[in-house]
A = this chain, B = another copy of it.
Amino acid sequence: MKTEPKSRMTNQRRVILELVRSLHTHATADEIHRRVRERMPRISLGTVYRNLELLSAQGLVKKLEHTGAQRRYDGNLNFHYHLRCVQCGRVVDAPLEPMPQFLELVRSRTDFDILGYELEFQGLCPACRSSIQPLDKKGIKEDTHA
């Protein structure tokens, strides 16, 4: 039923996919760009965005639009939840088993066509908890602790 758009496996696309799959850090486009540039110095940020979007549409990576201001990308396609540090923005997998029964419950109670759900925990990571700087709700732009 789906009309998959034809796509070409370019060097850029392959390297981006390999990188996102190898990272367990839920990196941002900018971080991915920096890492990929170590192998392909001329690759542009626009190309990274375009490829991440396409790979996400093809279901090869997961786009996380629910973890703070900046979008992040996950190479782990197994259904799981996330835990985000509200101080440094770092995202890790949450230690909680999937509970897909929510879907049926909500489906039976709404006239929306339910497609999925996201469960995200927020907290302070060990590094930020022990740091002196106060939690001021700002500057949660980039990972301080990679």
* Contact residues of A: prevailing secondary structure: mixed
Known: A106-B95, A106-B96, A110-B95. A122 touches B126 (CB 8 A): no
**A120 B118 Cβ-Cβ under 8 A:** yes
A129 at the interface (CB under 8 A from B): yes
A6 at the interface (CB under 8 A from B): no
Q: Residues 66-100 of chain A: 1 if any B CB is under 8 Å from the residue's CB, otherwise 0? A: 11110100000000000101100000101110000
Return chain B residues, CB-CB under 8 Å to A92: 112
**B126 A106 Cβ-Cβ under 8 A:** no
Which A114-140 residues sit within 8 Å CB-CB of chain B? 114-126, 129, 137
The one of B113, B120, B123, B137 in contact with A129, judged by C-beta atoms closer than 8 angstroms, is B113
- Smallest distance from the beta carbon of A109 to chain B beta carbons, Å? 4
Query: Which 7 A-B pairs give the minimum distances between C-beta atoms?
Result: A95-B109, A112-B123, A113-B124, A114-B123, A117-B121, A66-B66, A115-B123
- Offer 11 A-B interface pairs, CB within 8 angstroms, sorted by A: A57-B137, A66-B118, A69-B71, A86-B115, A95-B106, A96-B106, A112-B123, A112-B125, A116-B122, A117-B121, A118-B120
